[in-house]
Amino acid sequence: MNIFKIITFFLLIGVGLMSFSDPKNEIKYRCSNEEVDTCCFNKSENGELHKYYISVSNATYSKSDKSVQMVTRFFIDDMEDVLNSRMENPIVLGDKSTIEEVYPLLKSYISKKLEVQINGVTSIPSFIGAEYESDQIVLYIELPSPKVPKVITMRFNAFTELFEEQKNLVHMKINGVRRSLLMDKNKLTDTVKF
């Protein structure tokens, strides 16, 4: 059972739900094609608003590029909200023709929210680019690593300033070995060994 299924199972138990239902009923569930990036359960058992937010990233090591390549997906409206909370003049995301104009904002945000050590050495994230897919913004990030990672320590606190319940899940695959890191406000960093 993968980590997402385990998390989903406990989330469902936590709010007293046995199954997902139609969005017109009490539960709102959003997901992308293959990965769930954010789960929102709008009502708890007692009818109060109760939300869970989970970002999911995938990262692999490229021997030829000597880097860990990370793909992170967020809902466009959530990214827009978090960026606008830091600015005087609001921006609107979602227009493919103007995405490169927001690269500096995305790069700045990621540089403040993502800190990584690979094999005990700080690896400065490089923002490679972004694109829109449906209702999501996909960020491409590269983490330099001259040697194959044996230990990765990460602090990834994206969206925690906006969503109290935010969790950031990063699946890593190095030399065919898969490990996952899970970070939130209570657990700021996580470490995996390969």
pLDDT in tens, 160-191: 999 999 999 999 999 999 999 999 999 999 99
Res 86: pLDDT: 87
Model pLDDT for residues 45-65, shown as the tens digit of each residue: 555 554 668 899 999 999 999
CA atoms within 13 A on the CB side of 181: 27
* Predicted structure pTM score: 0.74
Q: Are residues 138 and 165 in contact, defined by beta-carbon separation less than 8 angstroms?
A: no
Domain encompassing residue 75:
3-193
Give CA–CA dist 113/79, Å, rounded: 13
Q: Taking the CA atoms of the chain, what radius of gyration do you get in angstroms? A: 17
pLDDT at position 10 is 47
State the total domains in the chain. Answer: 1
